[in-house]
Structure 1
Amino acid sequence: MRKSEPGRGLSVPRTGWRARIADRPARILLLGYLFYAAVGWGLLMLPVAQSGPVAPLDALFIATSAVSTTGLVTVDPGSSFTFFGEIVILALIQLGGLGYMTIGSVALLVVQHRISRRREAAARAAFELPSPVSIGAFLRAVFLFTFLVEAAGAAILYPMFLRAGVESPLWAAIFHSVSAFCTAGFSLFATSLEGYVAHPGVSLTVAALSILGAMGFLIAVDIWRTLLRRRVSFGFTTRIIVSVTLALIGAGTVLLALFEPTVAVLPWDARLLAAFFQAMTAATTVGFNTVPIGNLAVPSIMVLLVLMVVGASPAGTGGGIKTTAFATLFALVRCTLRGRRDVLLFGHRVPAEKMRTATATFAYYIGFLVVASGLLAATEAGAAFEHILFEAVSAMSTVGLSMGLTGALSEPGKILVIVLMTAGRLGILTFGIAIARTRPDDTAAPQPFGP
């Protein structure tokens, strides 16, 4: 941002804390999510929002979990909060799912028919958009697609919840539809969706909403273009997202169906449905569950961990390192093993910048995970390490699945998980960029590597 000196045509750069924030879109995003969480925390602390006493730290945990669309909870939302409190939680989920920059940018588009370059840069950073995509058209498509899908999901869930005897079935349908599409995993039921383990209607509807949210709004734009042009018009990124997402869910379903004892006792149709749902919930980072996660065998936990680390897709509502980064790393390893100079993915050469970003994202994620797991092991000394690792990955990838550790977290553990959920929603690499200190010599010429 530059301002002109009075009476002169010269421009000088703005300095100070405002410039340090404005020059990094990642910092704007971080402050936006922190603001949403703080407002939500204040609203959830109101007596009108609570059915019974909720500790301030637990209210902050719930607000952060909702804004980050994670779904980890230290208290049961359905019994701890009033209808007003549930509305606040759902509003935070919707704001977090759409993204901090989306709301303000769409409002400016409606009023001013344009947005500033800085806001556009922040919106592109939030959704990890490629440069050819028009930000204005994209944001309008995001809003329209979101509310159409969520309304359709609620309409489908309502009669099923009504027949199941759910209290306030319309509200439950709306809440779970929004929570599923925003991959938040918040449920008004104390045991999530375990009561619907063999119910194909509820399971498949929630799965469809979650997959649409996780694959991202770029998919919606391509679908809209296909409908308008009456011919398939899927871009390169869309093909990667769809292929990787379906492959991971398919592989996870097969492994869980064949080797998980918890689902092996079910009839084959219910067994496949339960296995698919758990693979889907980890891959999309939605966090609903139809079987108790704490009862799963270690091999199944390993499968879920891999799916959670990869996570959802760019411009989606989920977390993880993203399917595109995973595909890039997979192509890099494959081409290196085959001795190829160029890294090819679906017949396209992957630019060096994309490989560097994918590598940095994965490296930073693993480093962050090691530190977070070590700190959680220190704060939760009596917990099994696999529970600690699962909790850390679930928070960092904004999944919301837990092996039972969340409700037993100490106060330092809760604070740490709050930080992990915030970092996960922003994107682990973006979070690192947001908190990194800008050095004066960042733009200096690089020195040769070696002696």
Structure 2
Amino acid sequence: MVRLAICSDAEADSQRMPNEGSGPSRKGQLSNLLRGARLSVLRTNPAKLLVVGYVGYMLAGWCLLSMPLTHETRVAAIDSFFTSVSAVSTTGLATIDPGTSYNLLGELIILLLIQIGGVGYMTIGSFAVLATAHKLSPLREKITRAAFALPDDLKPGHFILTVVIFTLVCEAIGAFVLWLIFRAAGEENAVWSAIFHAVSAFCTAGFSLNPNSFEAYSGNAALNIVISALSLLGAMGFLVIWDVWRNFTSAAFHLGFTTKVILRMTGSFLFIGTLILFVADPGISALEPSDRLLAAFFQTMTATTTVGFNTVPIGGLSMSVLVVLFVLMAVGASPSGTGGGLKTTTFAALLAIMRSTLKQRSRVRFFKRPIAASRLQAAGASAVYFIVLMSIAIFLLGLTDPQFEFERIVFEVISALGTVGLSMGITGELSDLGKLIIIILMTAGRVGILTFGIAIAMHDESRSEEKDNELLI
């Protein structure tokens, strides 16, 4: 019996030994798998990571907005998905009225999605990491540089801190002033409305809790000024704010070339657009002189910054004014900001190419400064890809929703691709396939036209070409 017991113990030991030895081996295999996955992610083109990240938040927002406890009235699944994508992409197009379709919880979820989409999902996460670890991982630095097209000499950690602090300060001040305006106007829930619209304006989202946006405040100069200021600060780009702040805190004041281009192009668009709308649109011309100027400027600003609010009915604008809005929405805001569109720097590069070609110059210059060939290549690619996506979408919407006039479809497509959010009243009447087309356009517009194209390309480009694609175009 003793021998049998000894044999049994020996056999048990022999059976246990392989299992005990396999423990560390399995841990080692798991560690190798994790290490391999991490290296694979680090080697992945940041454009693909950006698209995956934003799509992930859009799907998460869809799940949250699909919960019945967020609804004031019944909301279809496709409309919840549309709302989530529109919020994360900071577009503002809506198939339903958010103010009456969702309760306070639903509106809060929309606001959080707008904030995540406006300042960038990696920015918020990286800020939390900096608050605890005081250092960003290589992956976070890589995606941050791609998302904001940061130059090599700018540290992502310092830039993120500036972005978050600046965003919170602007939104807090804007919300306080809007609360005073809404309270004086006798609006219900003035505090929540002020917070919601301040965030929506700075993130150039254009979501409004009012059924007709700000048409009721078309003659309110204070509201027009506050919304315009918030939208312009968000749309001109965080790099411009960084450059201006850096100059104020240094001995010598010298703005960078990109900042000068952005400021001049934005100012030119605002002036020319306001002048045309002030003179050319019959509906705006019928207003009192002061209200007429406010309306012309606000609609120019809302298209240029891609914020998407309106103080006059868009469907009532003349065809000539709609053409102006087409151009303003397509060009859009500036790089590294909360707005969409081709970007003002891309348009500046295209103007420089045209001017240099007409003058038969061998070098392309803008404001007497030469532009690198890589930036010109990126600008040309962005413009062509924008036109291709726009043309395909117009063609498909013509098949899925033939009941709408051509100009309304074109306006809707450019508004979605530029993440503007203005509409001639067809968004809520689109078919389900039409809504899916607009959803794809809004996603492409949020991550950037060129970035979206790179992300869906079959093969990654070389390291040197990746750096060219990340330049401020």
* Per-residue deviation, 1:132: 2.4
User: What's the RMSD between the two structures over aligned residues?
Assistant: 2.3
AA of the residue aligned to 1:165: G
Residue aligning to 1:384: 405
Aligned residue identity for 2:360: G
State yes or no: 1:130 paired with 2:130. Answer: no
1:180 maps to 201
1:215-256 residue CA offsets vs partner (Å, 9 max, x unmatched): 010122122213322653421111111110110111100000
1:440–1:44 Cα change, 3 Å: closer
Is 1:396 the counterpart of 2:413 in the alignment? no
Cα deviation, residue 176, structure 1:
0.5
**Offset at residue 16 of structure 1 (A):** 8.4
Q: Is the 8 A contact 2:331 2:341 kept in 1?
A: yes
TM-score normalized with structure 2 length:
0.88
Contact 2:45-2:460 at 8 Å conserved across structures: no
CA distance in 1, matches of 2:44, 2:460: 13
Show CA shifts across 1:234-283 (max 9, x none). Answer: 21111111110110111100000000011011011111110000000000
- Please show how residues 310-321 of structure 1 align to structure 2 within 5 Å: 310-321=331-342
> Matches of 1:292 and 1:234 in 2, distance apart?
39
1:25-104 superposed matches below 5 A = 25-104=46-125
Residue of 269, 272, 293 corresponding to 2:293: 272
Distance 1:295 1:17 in 2: 54
Partner amino acid for 1:275?
A
Partner of 2:255: 234
1:410 lines up with 2:431 in the alignment = yes
* Residues 333-342 or 288-297, more deviating: 333-342
| Other-structure match for 1:302 | 323
Which among 182, 185, 190 is matched to residue 169 of structure 1? 190
Give the Cα–Cα distance (whole angstroms) in 2 for the partners of residues 413 and 399 of structure 1: 18
**Paired position in structure 2 for 1:365:** 386
Distance 1:185 1:437, change over 3 A: same
1:156 matched residue in structure 2 = 177
CA shift, 1:112, in A, is 2.2
The one-letter code matched in structure 2 to 1:348 is R
Q: Secondary structure at the match of 1:53?
A: coil
Deviates more, 1:430-439 or 1:280-289: 430-439
**Helix, strand or coil at the partner of 1:290:** coil
Instruction: Quote the Cα distance in structure 2 between the aligned partners of 1:344 and 1:88.
Output: 46
Cα deviation code 1:168-215 (max 9, x no counterpart): 001111110000000000000000000111111001110010001000
Q: Secondary structure in 1 aligned to 2:152? A: coil
User: CA shift at 1:345, angstroms?
Assistant: 1.5
- By how many angstroms is 1:130 displaced? 2.3
1:94–1:397 CA distance, 2 compared to 1 (3 A):
same
| AA at the equivalent of 2:178 | L
Provide the identity percentage. 49
Distance 1:406 1:61 in 2: 10
Please identify which structure carries the higher helix content.
2
CA distance in 1, matches of 2:43, 2:178: 43
Distance in structure 2 (CA, Å) of the matches to 1:440 and 1:282 = 34
Structure 1 residue 17: deviation in Å?
11
* Alpha-carbon shift at residue 133 of structure 1 (Å): 2.0
One-letter identity of the residue aligned with 1:240: V
Contact 2:42 2:139 in 1 (8 A): no
Match of 1:255 in 2: 276
- Partner SS, residue 342 of structure 1: coil
- Show structure 1 runs of 5+ residues with no match: 1-6, 444-451
Mapped contact 2:331–2:347 kept (Cα < 8 A): yes
Which residue of the partner structure matches residue 356 of structure 2? 335
Matched, 1:19 2:19: no
Q: In structure 1, what residue type is equivalent to 2:174?
A: G
- Report the AA paired with residue 98 of structure 2: P
Distance 1:134 1:16, change over 3 A: closer
Q: CA deviation at 1:155?
A: 1.0
Partner of 2:242: 221
Report deviation, 1:440: 9.9
Deviations 1:60-97 (A, max 9, x none): 10011000000000000000000010000000000000
Match of 1:429 among 429, 432, 450: 450
Matched-pair contact (CA < 8 Å) for 1:281–1:288: yes
CA distance in 1, matches of 2:57, 2:374: 32
For residue 80 of structure 2, give the secondary structure of its aligned residue in structure 1.
helix
The residue type paired with residue 401 of structure 2 is E
Q: Are the counterparts in 2 of residues 21 and 28 from structure 1 also a CA contact under 8 Å?
A: no
Superposition deviation, residue 27 in structure 1: 1.1
Shift of 1:393: 0.5
Distance (Å, rounded) in 2 between the aligned partners of 1:137 and 1:16? 28
CA contact (8 A) 1:361 1:429 kept: yes
- Structure 2 unaligned segments of length 5 or more: list them: 1-27, 465-473
Q: Which residue of structure 2 lines up, in the alignment, with residue 110 of structure 1?
A: 131
The answer to whether the 8 A contact 1:51-1:80 is kept is: yes
Aligned length: 436
The change in CA–CA distance for 1:322 and 1:441 in structure 2 (over 3 A counts) is closer
User: Secondary structure of the equivalent of 1:431?
Assistant: helix
Partners of 1:131 and 1:324 in 2: CA distance: 18
| 2:387 is aligned with 1:374 | no
**Residue pair 1:293, 1:403 contacting (<8 A) in 2 also:** yes
Corresponding residue for 2:216?
Answer: 195
- Tell me whether 1:205 sits opposite 2:226 in the alignment: yes
State how far apart, in whole Å, the 1-side matches of 2:458 and 2:93 are. Answer: 30
**Structure 1 contact 74–406 (Cα < 8 Å) conserved:** yes
The answer to whether the Cα contact below 8 Å between 1:262 and 1:295 also exists between their aligned partners in 2 is yes
Secondary structure in 1 aligned to 2:345? Answer: helix
Identify if the C-alpha distance between structure 1 residues 441 and 318 changes in structure 2 by more than 3 Å, giving closer, same or farther: closer
Larger Rg belongs to? 2
